[in-house]
Amino acid sequence: MAQFDVVMDFWRDTLSAPTKIVAPMVDASELAWRLLSRKYGAQLCYTPMLHSALFVRDLKYRNEALVSCEDDKPLIIQFCGNNPQTMLEAAQLAQDHCVAIDINLGCPQAIAKRGHYGAFLQNEWPLLRDIVSLLSKNLKVPVTCKVRRFETKEKTIEYAKMLESAGCKMLTLHGRTREQKGPLTGLADWSYVKAVREAVKIPVISNGNIQNMQDLERCLNETGAVGVMTAEGNLYNPALFLSQNPPCWEPALEYLNLVQNHPCPNSYIRGHLFKLFHHVLSLPENNNLRIELGAANTLDKFRAITKQIQSMYNKFHCGEELWTIKTTQSQNLVLPPWLCQPYVRDTPENHVKKVEDRVKEAEEKLADGGKRCYEDSDGNVISRKKMKKLRRILRRPEKCESNQERSSEKCSLCENPLGSKCGYKLCKKCCRDKCFLQNLDCEGHRILVKTRREMAKRYADEKKSNKKKLEKEMNNSTAVAE
């Protein structure tokens, strides 16, 4: 019971018992967006997922990631990684800038698979136990975790208990599996959140299916979670926590004003505006605006596009003119398109059926002598050239772990990374110098100094020999002529 009181004190006293939480989002939960979200009712925010190894070794990356201000509290910093010591070093560098360190064990994207972190660590329990335990024992702030569920409730509960026993002080559970992403996202299962909440003594936050305040209240009632986290719902409507649907240009202009004081990359700004304007830009007559936004690269251009959208739809919003355009059912619009509202995905079943229908249609077209169509994994029609490129990528074998480990070794003569196949255990520059001075070859670096010198010598000898033969023949010819 004492342990339960301590961890609940962290949620209640340090975090001020937040129920409205904005998720960590790569390239999306930067300072300007966090401040906008807090203005619209968010009580707790996370930084974007930060790569622990890069955070430790790259000062520029670290300084940009730690940008915050007095209004950006409470703040939790999230890290990903698979090395306990590196994770600890990163967390120690960040602990004075936040109220807790979160470990990302829920990212299901391809980049997490390649880097071997996020949800692709969920089956490596001894490693996760070491990471959570090491951080929990050596940090001044609590350690929290964000995870996805397994296929069964029993394993999900066992997983949560393992993290709790290792030192996790708060757990965010996404009610989807690792495979539920992209067009196959589907609905999050809140019953898993409820089962975990009843099984552990630490605060549990529910993540998934939050598109409006009604969803939030229903989630709290059904799961018993202490709070609710949202990502996509917040991006399409940052006023979700106030149960409002403002015209999209209002939060957009506020966000651009915040960016002016707290700069961020243009790609972040463009991404936010595309989501805020999603339903407006989905209308066929606004295709040119979509193209303009995609090409915009200055704050002035972003603001001009926002003002243009405002001038186009404010007259309808204020009631000066009647909105009579009917939208198609595929756009999932209940509210007028200029209002901030959720993006509703198609169900996985419908997506699969549409892909099958497109494949069938393409096969029929091909049978009738038409041009063959190609599609990517999301069912989008692509060119033959693009399909061949995707197939080449799929055929490439994944790098083995031994190669990845070898690449971290240092050159024996300098601080540069060691060449993975160098026989002299040198970086390419040092290896080239050694081969030049000592007349050597390095097959690993494909440096062939000795071979090329021998070839040059043979060529020179052959040329000299041929020259002598030619001179001899000319002398003989001259003698015969005389």
In tens, the pLDDT along 214-258 reads: 999 999 999 999 999 999 999 999 999 999 999 999 999 999 999
- For residues 176 and 208, is the Cβ–Cβ distance under 8 A? yes
Average pLDDT, the chain: 87
Give 94-121 pLDDT, tens digit per residue: 999 999 999 999 999 988 998 999 999 9
- For residues 105 and 118, is the Cβ–Cβ distance under 8 A? yes
Residue 303 has a pLDDT of: 97
Euclidean distance between CA atoms 129 and 98, whole angstroms: 23
Residue 329 has a pLDDT of: 45
- For residues 109 and 149, is the Cβ–Cβ distance under 8 A? no
The yes-or-no verdict on residue 399 having pLDDT over 60 is no
**pLDDT band with cut points at 50, 70 and 90 for residue 376:** low
Residues sharing a CB contact under 8 Å with residue 223, sequence separation 6 or more, in sequence order: 190, 193, 194, 197, 204, 206
Euclidean distance between CA atoms 310 and 304, whole angstroms: 10
CA dihedral 115, 117, 123, 128 (to 10 degrees): 130
Question: Which one of the listed residues 45, 80, 98, 107 is annotated catalytic?
Answer: 107
Euclidean distance between CA atoms 49 and 47, whole angstroms: 6
- For residues 217 and 267, is the Cβ–Cβ distance under 8 A? no
- For residues 424 and 401, is the Cβ–Cβ distance under 8 A? no
Residue 30 has a pLDDT of: 96
Residue 449 has a pLDDT of: 86
**Lowest-confidence pick of 193-197, 206-210, 286-290, 369-373:** 369-373
Range among 201-205, 367-371, 417-421 with highest mean pLDDT value:
201-205
**pLDDT band with cut points at 50, 70 and 90 for residue 406:** very low
Residue 384 has a pLDDT of: 72
Residue 371 has a pLDDT of: 60
pLDDT over 70, % of the chain: 88
Mean pLDDT of the 24-28 span: 93
Give 319-368 pLDDT, tens digit per residue: 998 888 765 544 455 789 999 999 887 787 787 787 777 777 767 666 66
Residue 1 has a pLDDT of: 44
**Angle, vertex CA 382, rays to CA 377 and CA 386, nearest 5:** 90
Mean pLDDT of the 459-470 span: 81
Residue 387 has a pLDDT of: 75
The yes-or-no verdict on residue 378 having pLDDT over 70 is no
Euclidean distance between CA atoms 197 and 193, whole angstroms: 6
User: In the annotation, is 442 catalytic?
Assistant: no
CA dihedral 354, 358, 359, 365 (to 10 degrees): 160
Per the structure block, which two tokens stand in for 23? Answer: 């998720």
**pLDDT band with cut points at 50, 70 and 90 for residue 389:** confident
DSSP 8-state class, residue 173: E
Three-class SS state of 146: strand
The yes-or-no verdict on residue 379 having pLDDT over 70 is no
Q: How many residues does the chain have?
A: 482
Range among 132-136, 361-365, 416-420 with highest mean pLDDT value:
132-136
| CA-closest candidate to residue 330, choices 279, 265, 290 | 279
Give 282-312 pLDDT, tens digit per residue: 999 999 999 999 999 999 999 999 999 999 9
Euclidean distance between CA atoms 24 and 28, whole angstroms: 8
